[in-house]
Structure formats: C-alpha cells, structure tokens
Amino acid sequence: MEIAALVSGGVDSSVVVHRLKEMGYDPTIFYIKIGMEDEEGYIDCPSEEDIEIVTFIAKKYGCRFEIVSLHEEYWNSVVHYTIESVKRGLTPNPDMMCNKLIKFGTFEQKWGHQFDRIATGHYATTTQSEGLTWLSTAKDHVKDQTYFLGQVSYVQVSKLMFPIGDLLKSEVREIAAENRLPSAQRKDSQGICFLGKVNYNRFIERYLGKKEGLIVELETGNIIGRHQGYWFHTIGQRKGLGLSGGPWFVIKKDVNRNIVYVSKGYDTKYQYGNVINLQGFSFITKDPWGDFEGEKEITFKIRHTPEFTRGHISKKGDLYTISSELPVQGIAAGQFGVVYDLESRICLGSGMII
C-alpha cells in the first residue's frame, strides 16, 4: 500500500511515521508549505525549523521526503474565507477549512491521488460499518480533533489514516522520547500557521483596517466604551475589550452600525442559548436518518472542546435545528455545529450556524 504521510514537524505527525513503519509501511513524507512569504503582509511560519525536524525524521526512517508549496491555494481559499467571514461579522473556522480545502483537497488533487492512503497526526479514528468508512472520535477525548474534521467528505475520509488516534497524548510523547525524536518535547502548535506567530488583530487590521465604533451594554443601552472595528471581536469574547469593572462578554454585533454589544458577568443569560440553527448541513459518510419526522437524539459540539453536549436535532426543509439539553455559551454565526451519533461517538456531519 502506498501511503502519503503529512508531517509538520510536531510530535504527533512525527510519531505517525514511526507507527507506520511499525505497521510495515514505507510512507512518503510530505511537508506542506503554506506561509505567504511572497505576499504583501508576510505571514511568518516557522518553516525552517519544521523542515529540519521533518528531514531528520525522513532520514531516520529511510523515507522519501518532498516539500510541496500550497501558498497560493491557501491564500485563495482559507485566508480569503477567513477575511470575508470576519468582514461579515461571522466567526470563521480556518482550521476546518484548511483540512477540507488544503490538506485533503488541493494536496489530494496535486499529489495525494497517487497514493492509496493519506496519513495525518490528527487525534481521530475511523470505523468500518456496513461496508462504509465513518469518522470516529479518538481515544484521547481531550485531544480529539474530529470537530476540525467535521467538514470533510466521504471521498476524503475513506482515504484517511489516523495512526495515533488510538493513543493518548502522553503515550505519543513517550513514543517520541523513547525513539529520540527531536519533536518529543516540542510544544503543540496553536491553530493554523497564519494564526500562530502573527498577532490576529494585526493580521485582520492589515486587510480590513480600523473603524471606531461603540461598545454598548446590552441590557441598558448605555455606551460604555469604544472599539476599533467589530471585526476585531467575536461572540463570547472576554479579553481585549479594554473595559473596567468586568468581566464583560461580547454578546452580539451590529455589523451595519458597527456596534459591539456586551453584557457583564460570567452567568448572564445573554451568553447562553439552547437553539442552534444550521444551514448547509452535510453528512460525511451518509445520512443515517433519511426523511424523518420529529427529532433525533444526538451529541454535538459548536467548538473544539473535550465535552459533548446532548441534544435533539430536527429538520425543516434544508434547515437543521439542534435543541440542546443544557444552555450553550457563545453560540456564534459562522461557527460550525458538528453532530455525533448519540451512542457510538461517530461524527455524522456538520453545518454552519446562522
């Protein structure tokens, strides 16, 4: 079997190569460069250090190694999506789009199609049932990354391998240390590359600029501060508002009037909701329900967290609605609601919150 291993230089993807060799495979290692050195507003990525580590891994395990560039594709898809979403007042998820459009999209079209499988260091697993491949959660529920994979298609997931999905993070680090991998003690990366070393607000400012607006207390309508543009603020945000006497949380935004509404306190009712409407919902493997009436019991997530929330999902036309058993904090348009089977923890699919 021919396997392409996507290796970033972190401990997780490094151990992927070790495990593949243990399984008897001889993977071809790919390092994907997505930094935008040639673009205005250079996006700095630690690619030199990454490549040194990946080169060491390739030599240690005798693997063929290729560095491939997806600068332009990354810019035109993930970065463009992020900027446009923020401009519309939405909360984007670049990591999810990077998986769907770059790692398992453009990479597959340009290089991955030559291989039987693509292996990554995601904390996830796959389950075979009824002759189909289903995306399933990882052994390590704290590190589980199926939320970020919630937008992949069946064609994509049926080709993926997750060699560390059956391990805890601590076990991954133990394997790396035992085999003297240079990434053994390396810190985990924080999100996608362009959000790693570059200040997020500076990045957004470069493309959307600044525009002073009001910060208004939701309950009273009182003006309590000013901001430099609604696009710098996300629903549920607490830090960075510059307000005294808090804690203050961003509750909603008026895009047309450039107003950010906030509420004070950790438990204010305005932070929470029980109803989540999803548009463009797509199933990864297949629709297990068909045309159903009433509600289906599910678990779900609206962000990357260890916890699953129980609820029910109903359908009206193309709109899916989740009714949560418990109030959910910070429901924001533009986020994705990822739905799981109640019992098996199989990831069924996702839709964008509206």
Active-site annotation, residues: 98, 193
Find out whether 79 and 41 touch, Cβ atoms under 8 Å.
no
Q: Counting Cβ atoms within 10 Å, is residue 43 exposed (0-12), middle (13-18) or buried (19+)?
A: buried
Pick the closest to residue 109 from 65, 70, 66, 77 (CA basis): 70
Give the whole-angstrom CA distance, residue 281 versus residue 301. Answer: 14
Give the whole-angstrom CA distance, residue 271 versus residue 260. Answer: 14
Give the whole-angstrom CA distance, residue 178 versus residue 18. Answer: 11
Give me the DSSP letters along 135-195: EE--S-TTT--GGGGTT--HHHHTTEE-TTTTS-HHHHHHHHHHTT-TTTTPPPP-SSGGG
Give the helix ranges, DSSP H, for 209-332. Answer: none
